[in-house]
Amino acid sequence: MLKFLFKGLVRDRSRSLFPILTVFIGVALTVFLYSYLNGFVSDMIKSSAHYNSGHVRIMTKAYSQESNQSPNDLAIIGIDPLIQNVEKSYPDMIWTPRIKFGGLIDIPDRNGETRIQGPVSGMAVDLFSKESRERKFLNLDESLVKGRIPEKPNEILIADDFARRLKVAPGDTATLLSSTMYGSMVMTNFVIAGTIRFGIAALDRGAIITDISDIQKSLDMNNAAGEILGFFKDDNFDSKKAYRIRDSFNEKYKNSEDEFAPIMGALPEESGLSDYMGLIDIASFVIIGIFIFAMAIVLWNAGLMGSLRRYGEMGVRLAVGEEKGHIYRTLILESIMIGIVGSFLGTLFGLIPSYLMEIYGLDLSFLFEKSSVMITGVLHADVTYETYLIGFIPGILATVLGTSIAGIGIYKRETAQLFKELEA
């Protein structure tokens, strides 16, 4: 039966060409949009994890309540034993301390007087340790524009756009005006080792990066850090594992009333992305639902037109004794074949731009120039295992739904009327 129906579809293109084209277009769009949404979420998660919250983040309870302000007076003191503890308890994670700080950057003239100043947001990370992966997490080597990565104490990287506004270059001296962990004002001289372009507008407007040991000395934070970030070793965020680690860690300190006791949070809650991720999931279902509905309407109309053209054929089949249910089922089988073929071709075609966008990306940095969201300006698609299958859902459901509705007319045919139709 399947072979017979397949030959009929191949030989009679009027029964299959338009439905296949409809499914092909709808599935191709579904596959591309699905991979684009996956890529958007993936880029947002990676950017937020690398530059902000890690996959999990340890802070003091007091710090966590004001984490957006990076209050270093509420930082973790005695980070070495804490890091050793979490490395032992959670060996499948990479743990690294960071200090976020703010202040003014002062650029002197030839006479040592202030030439220009600008507000700065800084990040102190482990740059000097051989086992540190911070250079990779922050993509420093690939993002370097001028100069080099800091190799000596009191060297900094500065955002390239910020450096241009300040009219400074590698080798120039910059003075950081900030406050210590205990609230005292401090001034520290740094040498600009290089300039960097993050590709994230919030950082390119005025960020600097230096080794954590320099800031610990400068801000009087010996063996202290604002945050300790944890990353999965494969650098892929796993929400179930992250929440399990968070709950396990917090269980140890749940009865502590000390405001400086450590507490752990997972990426979605720490970066504020939980709502975004939920909306993206809803959007994926909405997109698939829209295409199912739209294609079903088109294929329903195509089925009605096909039924009119095949009116005599259906009459003959009924007249020779074929059951209405059997005819209806063969139409459903035909629609499934059309759905499979159209979905297969549409998936292949939709994967082409998806793979190109995954490899090369799409530069939309001009849309994020004033954004404070931690997301790169070059958006990438993300082709996953589900991408290969997602198009078959609207492709097959729409054809079956359209044919099911159009085929109901078969049950309205009266046997007594068939002979009059055949005589005519």
Whole-model pTM over 0.85: no
What is the average pLDDT value for the chain, to the nearest integer?
A: 81
Q: How many CB atoms lie within 10 A of CB 96?
A: 21
- Going by pLDDT thresholds of 50, 70 and 90, the confidence category of residue 200 is confident
pLDDT (mean) for 93-109: 91
Mean pLDDT lowest among 6-10, 124-128, 130-134, 409-413 = 6-10
Tokens 């698939």 belong to which residue?
288
Task: Return the higher-pLDDT residue of 275 and 227.
Answer: 227
| Per-residue pLDDT at 56 | 92
Residues 107-116 have a mean pLDDT of 85
Q: How far is CA 91 from the centre of its chain?
A: 26
pLDDT at 108 over 80: yes
**Eight-state DSSP code of residue 308:** H
pLDDT on residue 214: 92
> How many other CB atoms are found less than 10 A from the CB of residue 2?
11
Does position 125 have pLDDT exceeding 80, yes or no?
yes
Average pLDDT for 270-278: 67
**pLDDT at residue 271 in the model:** 66
Angle formed by the axes of helices 392-406 and 324-360, to 10°?
A: 150
| Partners of residue 210 on adjacent β-strands | 124, 156
Q: Where are the alpha helices (DSSP H) in 148-208?
A: 160-166, 201-204
Q: Which of 136-150, 170-184, 358-372 has the lowest mean pLDDT?
A: 358-372
Task: Find the mean pLDDT for residues 202-230.
Answer: 90
φ, ψ of residue 198 to 5 degrees: the values are -75, -30
Q: For residue 12, what pLDDT is reported?
A: 59
- 3-state class of 387 per DSSP? helix
pLDDT band at residue 372 using 50, 70 and 90 as cut-offs: very low
Confidence at 2, pLDDT banded by 50, 70, 90: low
Q: State mean pLDDT over 33-46.
A: 82
Which is more confidently placed, 60 or 397?
A: 60
Instruction: Using a pLDDT cut of 90, give the percent of the chain over it.
Output: 22
Which is nearest to 209 in space by CA: 129, 115, 99?
99
Would the pLDDT of 273 be above 50?
yes
User: Which one, of 411, 68, 63, lies nearest residue 227 by Cα?
Assistant: 63
Least confident of 25-34, 141-150, 272-281, 287-296: 272-281
If you write DSSP's letter for every residue of 336-390 in order, what string do you get? Answer: HHHHHHHHHHHHHHHHHHHHHHHHH-EE-GGGGTT--S---SEE-----TTHHHH
At 215 the pLDDT is 92
Q: Is the pLDDT of residue 302 over 80?
A: no
DSSP annotation of 49: I
In three-state secondary structure terms, 266 is strand
Helix, coil or strand: residue 194: strand
Please tell me the predicted confidence (pLDDT) of residue 204. 80
Q: What is the pLDDT of residues 145-190, one digit of tens each?
A: 899 999 889 999 999 988 999 889 999 999 999 988 888 889 999 9
Tell me which of 216 and 111 has the higher pLDDT.
Answer: 216
Given a cut of 80, is residue 143 above it in pLDDT?
A: yes
The 10 Å Cβ neighbour count of residue 244 is 13
Instruction: Return the pLDDT at 291.
Output: 73
Q: What is the pLDDT of residue 69?
A: 82
Instruction: Compute the CA torsion angle 313, 318, 321, 326 (nearest 10 deg).
Output: 90
* Longest CA–CA separation in the chain, Å: 109
The predicted-structure confidence for 313-336, as pLDDT tens digits, reads as follows 666 666 666 777 777 787 788 788
Mean pLDDT of 217-236: 91
Average pLDDT (67-84) is 88
